A and B are shown apart, each in its own frame.
Chain A
Amino acid sequence: MAQVKMTVNGKPASGEVEGRTLLVDFIRDTLGLTGTHVGCDTSQCGACVVHVDGKAVKACSMFAAEAEGTEVTTIEGMAAEDGTMTPVQKAFQEFHGLQCGFCTPGMVMSAEAMLKDNPSPTEAEVREYLKGNICRCTGYHNIVKAILAASGQDVSNIAAE
């Protein structure tokens, strides 16, 4: 067991971990931040995406010990203190970009990171970026639409609700 320290959602966080403890398990089990989800065990589904030092990372793909000294942001850290959601979060609700909600935290964290790098992506760029995030409910239609809308683009010509 070893002690790790990092900043999570702007606050200091620490705990005892085994060498094999994944960052996602540290976040969920040690810190009790259960918004980050685990949907697979091969780093494919993207339900566990968080930001580590500002970059989107699948939290199942690094050990907790590797996150020593980093700034981690989870889905719980996205909305403002008063609960106001980010434009991406708001767009997901506005355009029905989620159903069961399980993949949603990872989708939102990926979308936030994408728009930081590419503030006005094309549909194809959004779809390409989301290849690492699997959703079984929405068929991606409204997720892609929500992200395009969150980037400030007009989505009124995209079919259906």
Chain B
Amino acid sequence: MPKDGGIGASSKRREDVRFLTGAGNYTDDINLRGQAYVHFLRSDVAHGTLDNVDTSAAEGMPGVLKVFTGADFAEVGGIPCGWQVTDRHGEPMQEPPHPVLAQGKVRHVGDPIAAVVAETREQARDAAEAIEVDISDLPTVMDMKDALKDGATKVHDDLTSNLCYDWGFVEENKGAVDEAIKNAAHVTTLELVNNRLVPNAMEPRVAVGDYSRGTDDSTLYTTSQNPHVIRLLMGAFVLGIPEHKLRVVAPDVGGGFGSKIYHYAEEAFCTFAAKKLNRPVKWTCSRSEAFISDAHGRDHVTKIELALDADNNFTAVRTETYANMGAYLSTFAPSIPTWLHGTLMAGNYKTPNIYVNVKAVFTNTVPVDAYRGAGRPEATYQLERVIDKAARELGVDPIELRRQNFVTEFPYATPVAVEYDTGDYNACMDKLLEMIDMSGFDKRLADSKAKGKLRGLGVNCYIEACGIAPSNLVGQLGARAGLYESATVRVNATGGITVMTGSHSHGQGHETSFAQVVADMIGIDESMIEIEHGDTANTPMGMGTYGSRSIAVGGSAMVKATEKIIAKARKIAAHLMEASEADIELKDGQFSVAGTDKSVAWGDVTLAAYVPHNYPLEEIEPGLEETAFYDPANFTYPSGAYACEVEVDPETGKVTIESFAAADDFGNVINPMIVSGQVHGGLAQGIGQALLEQTSYDADGQLLSASYMDYAMPRADDVPFYDVDHSCQTPCTHNPLGVKGCGEAGAIGSPPSVVNAVVDALQRAGHDVTHIDMPLTPSRVWQAMQG
């Protein structure tokens, strides 16, 4: 029986009414009295020296308040990077400066050169066109391998080369891995590209800076997944504003997928300019601008080798990856190809020897950072593709090859530094096989053939590390932040509760699911609980939402704070009933004395806390409000098994997704409806990566796919109804809810099964095709079929 409330219930989302009726409050809906508008003049050249920026004509244009250039930011800090990676020789990564507005050089198309603030948006845009910029073109640095050659043009003149770092993991294992590969019965090698993607949250970024001269307070309204992080980075490292004088508000945010984690130059600009001009300054990004200024994702070029013994046991994995950083280091960029990628290279398998080498490279492209999955899709894709290739080379069933090598005993310490607490990979695979009707495949294949189509089935597994992360661990790994989460639970006199969380919801439905947890713990109706997030002025310092961490880390903080509330409420209830605290039981919102018919309601206790006439004042304080910070003991490890069936049109190479099934283990599930929705969205993004989405630069560094006319977003007719299941549940052992996180799974797990399915279809039709790089566009598939 489905539950009708609390943990495990598919409660309808309370957010929906405002979004469905046009009453949402997104950042672009915020307009402040006296607001001015900024338009950024961006480089249309990928690499060049900035010889002259003449703003004089623009300054005389109607409505123009001020034109800012890099010179105005000479005394201001640059955009900081939040993670320092140490290379395989023990040296810190090369970390170039990242100015708010270009200083001396432009390094990618979209690099902001100047900013016009005017009375209206149109006046700002018109004046920006009157700025005269002289740029001397420099040779572009586009290909990562070329960028590392001796004598290559440097993106940053002050660095020794375009190499950000050369990372080896685990460096001490390299010799053993090389040896295992040398001695293997079989080695399968695969070279592949994990295509660069543009996250494309549907809401473009917006920033509104505000300043009060009377109080010297600055406020930034911004489209962020983590307002406290922006406050810290911008306040401490860029503008020098202490946190108590800086408020950051991220109201309703229209999707993020990683791209709204980072601190962007436009946020710092609007905050800075508002103070300079003593007026609110608003920036609304256009989609065309978003393509050349939002951080991109993925962009790895990888060679992976999988070694097997004579019994087809995996004995070693060795990888070499080139990871594109773009022109500057975005906030968490260095951590993505390293700690969020290398640590996942064991996958679901007990491979004893693993060595991962990653060379991070600067190029004249938009910075690259986390995008849904962030390093884990890259790990999963290469591993699950090479396993599939190995199965085909060895003539064994790809599912059985996986099963044979599954980790089956937990906890399991991988050779890449993480310890999986729980999982049951066979159970997920069993569930998947139940879902996909394997026995009917031959008939479906024949039906497709009768229509003149090819058909293929692809399967893969995935594991991810979520709930980032133990602060002391990530500190050792180079993070320049803690990764705890916080919650304040404020109980009101009449029993209603406001929870202020450091997590942020931008589509995930926290206002509903977080309320379910607190309602369940106390035994009251969900409608009595309100979840507040997104404003540093009224929420405790939190690290925000990314890496599928909200319920695992933020939810845990909320549980801890609610436990404190319940503990105090029990003391009050014991006093009211003149009973021993040890005898007090809480059930369905009633405190009762065990073994008696004495009870007081939740509302009686909360009222007593705020009207403490009959109250143990000598023992406890009045009021009922508690804060907790929760720092996780480990990552969580969701896992799953996915299957995709495709049809391929041999005439055109067009691939159609006929079915997609996902069997996930997320541990305990708070709201199954929301969890399914998260998987659906991830699957569409993964299918988009596999079939449609490609970020294309030409040799001059021009972004060719810079609009929805050119960048193929998945649309409703590109995807099928999905079959998703999360009934395989091995609860996380180290957080109080036993939850693992579900936000990224679909995007991590789906690309390999799509590609595996297409390769399967082509091989069944007699084509000698072992790999096609994503996206599997009709032309790529057709060309592969032509040999």
Listed in ascending order, the chain A residues whose CB lies under 8 Å from chain B are 18, 20, 33-42, 44-45, 47, 74-76, 78-79, 83, 85, 89, 92-94, 96, 98-105, 108, 123-124, 126-128, 130-131, 133-145, 158-161
Which of A47, A108, A124, A161 lies in contact with B673, CB distance below 8 A? A161
In whole angstroms, what is the CA distance A135 to B257 when docked? 13
* Complex partner residue of B716 from A20, A133, A161, CB under 8 angstroms: A133
Q: Check A34/B681 contact, CB under 8 A, given A45-B708, A47-B202, A78-B21.
A: no
Closest to A101 in B: B19
Bitwise, B711-724 to A at CB < 8 A (1) or not (0) is 00111110101111
Specify which of B13, B22, B673, B716 is in contact with A33 (CB 8 Å cutoff).
Answer: B22
* Min distance, Cβ B126 to any Cβ of chain A, angstroms: 10
A74 to B252, CA, bound (A): 20
Q: Contact check, A93 vs B13: say whether CB atoms are below 8 A apart.
A: yes
Neighbour of A92 across the interface among B20, B257, B673, CB < 8 A: B20
User: Which residues from A are CB-within-8-Å of B507?
Assistant: 99-101, 137
> Is the C-beta of B342 less than 8 angstroms from some C-beta in chain A?
no
25 A-B residue pairs with CB within 8 Å: A33-B22, A34-B22, A35-B21, A35-B24, A39-B203, A41-B287, A42-B709, A45-B287, A45-B708, A93-B17, A93-B20, A96-B673, A98-B16, A98-B19, A99-B508, A99-B681, A100-B19, A100-B201, A100-B253, A127-B716, A138-B680, A144-B716, A145-B721, A160-B724, A161-B676
Is B122 part of the contact surface with A, judged by Cβ < 8 Å? Answer: yes
Task: Rank and list the top 4 A-B pairs by shortest CB-CB distance, nearest first.
Answer: A35-B22, A101-B19, A102-B254, A100-B507
Contact check, A44 vs B716: say whether CB atoms are below 8 A apart: no
Judged by a CB distance under 8 angstroms, whether B288 is at the interface is yes
Measured between C-beta atoms, what is the minimum distance from A127 to chain B in Å? 4
Query: Interface residues of B toward A: which range?
Result: 35 or more
Interface string of B230-272 (1 = CB under 8 A from A): 0000000000000000000000111101000000000000000
Select A136's contact among B10, B18, B255, B673, beta carbons within 8 Å. Answer: B255
Query: Are B717 and A39 in contact, with the CB atoms below 8 A?
Result: no
Asked whether any CB of chain A lies closer than 8 Å to the CB of B701, the reply is no
Once bound together, how far apart are the Cα atoms of A154 and B296, in whole Å?
Answer: 41
Partner of B22 from the list A103, A105, A128, A160 (CB cut-off 8 Å) is: A105
CA distance A99 to B203 in the complex (A): 12
Chain B residues in 8 Å Cβ range of A99: 255, 507-509, 677, 681
In the bound assembly, the distance between CA atoms of A41 and B252 in angstroms comes to: 21
Contact A40 B724 (CB under 8 A): no
Would A92 and B680 be within 8 Å (CB), given that A44-B707, A127-B717 are in contact?
no
B17-36, CB under 8 A of A: which get 1 and which 0? Answer: 11111111010110000000
Report the separation of the CA atoms of residues A139 and B673 in the bound assembly, to the nearest whole angstrom.
14
CB pair B29–A34 under 8 Å, yes or no, is yes
Residues B676 and A160 in contact, CB atoms below 8 Å apart: yes
Residues of A near B674 (CB, < 8 A) are 96
Q: Do the beta carbons of B28 and A38 come within 8 Å of each other? A: yes
Q: Which residues of A contact B202 (CB under 8 A)?
A: 37, 39, 45, 47, 100, 102-103, 134-137
Q: What is the chain A residue whose CB lies nearest that of B14? A: A93
What are the residues of chain B within 8 A of A18 when measuring CB–CB? 122
Known: A39-B287, A139-B681, A141-B722. A98 touches B717 (CB 8 A): no
CA distance A45 to B15 in the complex (A): 22
B672 within 8 A of A: yes
B719 touching A140 by the CB < 8 A rule?
A: yes
Instruction: Chain B residues near A42: list those with CB within 8 A.
Output: 287-288, 707-709
Residue of A with least CB distance to B287: A40
Tell me the chain B residues, 650-703 only, with Cβ under 8 Å from chain A: 672-674, 676-677, 680-685
Taking A100-B506, A161-B676 as given, write out 14 further A-B residue pairs in contact, using a Cβ cutoff of 8 Å, ordered by the A residue number.
Answer: A34-B29, A40-B287, A44-B709, A93-B16, A99-B507, A101-B24, A101-B254, A131-B717, A139-B722, A140-B684, A140-B714, A140-B719, A142-B680, A160-B724
> Separation in Å of the B724 CB from the closest CB of chain A?
5
In the complex, how many angstroms separate the beta carbon of B772 from the nearest chain A beta carbon?
23
Contact A139 B680, beta carbon cutoff 8 Å: yes
Most buried by A among B17, B18, B26, B202: B202
Contact B707 A40 (CB under 8 A): yes
A159 to B22, CA, bound (A): 29
Q: Which residues of B contact A93 (CB under 8 A)?
A: 12-13, 16-17, 20
Q: Considering the chains assembled together, what is the distance between the CA atoms of A158 and B676 in angstroms?
A: 13
B705 smallest CB distance to A (angstroms): 12
Q: A39-B204, A89-B20 are in contact. Are A100 and B708 (CB under 8 A)?
A: no
Contact yes or no, B717 A128, CB < 8 A: yes
